[in-house]
Amino acid sequence: MFSEELKKIGWDETSRRIAAMTDADVRRALMPGHRCTVDDFMALISPAAEPYLEQMARLSRRYTEARFGRTISMFVPLYLTNSCTNSCVYCGFHVSNKMKRTILTPEEMVNEYRAIKRLAPFDNLLLVTGENPVLAGVPYLARALDLAKPLFSNLKIEVMPLAADEYATLRRHGMNGVICFQETYHREDYNLYHPRGRKADFEWRVNAFDRMGQAGVHSIGMGVLIGLDRDWRTDITMMAYHLDYLRRRYWRTRYSVNFPRMRPSENGGFVPNAIMTDRQLAQVTFAMRIFDHDVDISYSTREPAALRDHMATLGVTTMSAGSRTEPGGYYSYPQTLEQFHVSDERSPQEVEQALRAMGREPVWKEWETSFDRPHLVS
């Protein structure tokens, strides 16, 4: 399990190594034909790489277009519930928050699915829940997938970490991918911000990715919350170590990464411990693409429209559009408390038009349900 590998990687030592990276280290990482290692990744996200941002951008664009062409995969998230048993101090769904809790019924799920289809031709749907294993556990998720499958070809979930056999069960109900944010790889800070609930178990969460791989999940998404720990560069480096580990062990699986930035004003007044600028986010994006040519890099509507448009030409391969972060926000409960407020409030059609104007091709469907069925050979 990755938790054992993580114990061998010193957090403070990694921070010192990143800070000590030099101009020569960056130039070596950018050499033509050089196979980028985690050490090179550290150089590319270090302050020493800031003068090379334009060169990194050109390299990132070249690698992205070689692997993905000029396509941008479009998806939409649907929050099924804001009911949660955890005590994450930065989250609006905190169990102690006095708020109306919503758990969509099967009928309400179908209404949401149909409302999304009226919104745009989305075929990639991400189902999101708070962590409530009793009221919104595996049977609830299986039902949600069963109802979604006739309308959407590619179904992913972003829910509580599950056991390997539970991931396997949901695969049989049409689940193609799982997204799970580690939040932070800094164990002490993780424990500080997750004091109670199932999420307080650091090992259970960080090893969830192994369990996804063991269950044969087709697509695994990962990320850290930028600003939860003081040193976002070290946190992202730990994710790079984790991605490298997963790629070697579960090589049939497709991977994606995200770098959601926390805002000072969101989630009940929680103030992030660090602020990542747009320029730094771009640097991290370029570094990740140079490190891994095949990984999907996703920007959500949390990021502003102008930045998303620009980065769609330089390394980003997946985007959400028209997102609602409150349960049932497309049809049933448009005034329910949202988890966070989006920055890019454009309609899916406006996002599509902007992407096409920049020479990108929005892709609404990337998975055919017939791939799930055994083929008969005559």
First to last CA, the chain: 43
Q: How many C-beta atoms lie closer than 10 Å to residue 357's C-beta? A: 9
| pLDDT by residue, tens only, the chain of 378 residues | 999 999 999 999 999 999 999 999 999 999 988 999 999 999 999 999 999 999 999 999 999 999 999 999 999 999 999 887 777 777 767 666 677 788 999 999 999 999 999 999 999 999 999 888 888 999 999 999 999 999 999 999 999 999 999 999 999 999 999 999 999 999 999 999 988 888 899 999 999 999 999 999 999 999 999 999 999 999 999 999 999 999 999 999 999 999 999 876 454 567 889 999 999 999 999 999 999 999 999 999 999 999 999 999 999 999 999 999 888 889 876 555 555 567 899 999 999 999 999 999 999 987 555 444 443 333
Cα–Cα distance, 282 to 370 (Å, whole number): 37
CATH (residue range 2-367)? 3.20.20.70
Predicted TM-score (pTM) of this structure: 0.93
Cα–Cα distance, 298 to 320 (Å, whole number): 8
* Alpha carbon separation from 292 to 2, 40, 240 (Å, rounded): 19, 11, 9
Residues 322, 120: contact at Cβ < 8 Å?
yes
Nearest to 259 by CA among 210, 311, 197: 311
What SS3 class is residue 226? strand
Domain limits, the chain: 2-367
Q: Which two tokens stand for residue 159?
A: 């829910």
